[in-house]
Amino acid sequence: MSNILVTGGAGFIGSNFLNYMVKKYPENNFYNLDKLTYAGNLENLSLIENETNYTFIKGDIQDNKLVKSIFDKYDITTVINFAAESHVDRSIENPDIFLKTNILGTQVLLEAAKNKWELNSSDKYDTAYKNNVKFIQVSTDEVYGTLGSDGMFTEATPLNPNSPYSVSKASADLLVRAYNETYKLPINITRCSNNYGPHQFPEKLIPLMINNALEGKKLPVYGDGQQIRDWLHVKDHCTAIDKVYNEGISGEVYNIGGNNEKANIDIVKLILKKLGKSSDQIEFVTDRLGHDRRYAIDNSKITSDLKWEPSYVFETGLEETIQWYLNNQNWTKHIVTGDYMNYYKAMYNNR
């Protein structure tokens, strides 16, 4: 039996992960520590909120005392750290909170795990690792920076982050690595490409475009719209983390991608087509500062070592996602709070 601390489990990927894992592993206990920032939404967890192996704790990963008390009270054996400020545009406006949550918060979790697990001998390390005692850091392909028209990110690609967000994630990755090297903390780092699917906050490209199309608003495409991202369905990301949790070799980094490169403008056009809307709704707007041109993940390590591969076909996954947003317009209404709208105005008015 494992006692798994999932941080940021009320957000997009964390909630999809918990909805999948809590039912799949009834013998394990899952503790969801989430601060419920603008991006955290407990409605995402309604399917599991009454399960006996699931507990929600509202709090900040930077809160040393709280984190230590959770480790002690629940005898935490595993950490899967999703908690983060995750939106690049927000990091360009206000880097401060990104450095605090994404770097200092990760350090608080690492320190609590190190103290609880006391693993500084190789015997203890091996035993711990066999028993799934480990710290999984959910990171991003953005730590590698940007690609030209050729090549892909492998786990050996040097870190070269360009935005305050990606710098904060790269810094956290280095801290996680240091706790493995220095204190023998069993760790894995996963670096994933762009996720899409249900429950994604409508500040990110796909849900923002779906909602704007439905509301008859303009669809704001940054720059020339030719930037490329490698899209992965969130449920494929969840199965990949499950694989890493069960079979990942301690100390290893695993890239996770969808083998699915698309230019932003093509995604926006596809969404409009699927909704039967006119491409007149597209509006090219000022580019994002320091906008990374292309991301592409080389999946070969996780595919060959852990026998994971993505299962979704993008067009089907996108259709299902559009349908989910059509069926769950109340979900969107509930999260589109005054704060979000103020942010939205600051980001897009006069752009």
Residues near ligand DAU (CB under 6 A):
86-88, 140-142, 193-194, 204-205, 208, 220-222, 227, 229, 264, 288, 295
205 binds, among ligand DAU, ligand NAD, none (CB under 5 to 8 A by kind): ligand DAU
Q: What are phi and psi of 57, to 5 degrees?
A: -130, 120
H/E segment holding residue 206? helix 205-214
Residue whose CB is less far from ligand DAU, 124 or 291:
291
Half-sphere exposure of residue 105: CA atoms within 13 angstroms, side-chain side: 26
Residue whose CB is less far from ligand NAD, 10 or 302:
10
Give the residue numbers marked as catalytic: 141-142, 165
Q: In angstroms, give the least distance from the CB of 284 to ligand DAU.
A: 9
250 binds, among ligand NAD, ligand DAU, none (CB under 5 to 8 A by kind): none
Residue whose CB is less far from ligand NAD, 129 or 239:
239
Q: Do 159 and 143 meet the contact criterion of CB atoms below 8 Å apart?
A: yes
∠ Cα 282 231 239 (to 5°): 145
14 binds, among ligand NAD, ligand DAU, none (CB under 5 to 8 A by kind): ligand NAD
Residue whose CB is less far from ligand DAU, 289 or 313:
289
Q: What is the rounded CA–CA span in Å between residue 136 and residue 245?
A: 7
User: Which among 229, 107, 98 is positioned nearest to 164, based on CA atoms?
Assistant: 98
44 binds, among ligand DAU, ligand NAD, none (CB under 5 to 8 A by kind): none
Residue whose CB is less far from ligand NAD, 179 or 231:
231
Q: What is the rounded CA–CA span in Å between residue 183 and residue 186?
A: 9
Site residues for ligand NAD per CB under 6 A: 7-8, 10-14, 33-37, 39-40, 60-62, 82-86, 101, 105, 138, 140, 169, 192, 194-195, 201
Q: In angstroms, give the least distance from the CB of 205 to ligand DAU.
A: 4
Q: Do 10 and 32 meet the contact criterion of CB atoms below 8 Å apart?
A: yes
User: Which among 46, 57, 58 is positioned nearest to 22, based on CA atoms?
Assistant: 46
Q: In angstroms, give the least distance from the CB of 285 to ligand DAU.
A: 7
Q: What is the rounded CA–CA span in Å between residue 96 and residue 108?
A: 17
138 binds, among ligand DAU, ligand NAD, none (CB under 5 to 8 A by kind): ligand NAD
Q: Do 102 and 171 meet the contact criterion of CB atoms below 8 Å apart?
A: yes
Q: What is the rounded CA–CA span in Å between residue 132 and residue 186?
A: 9
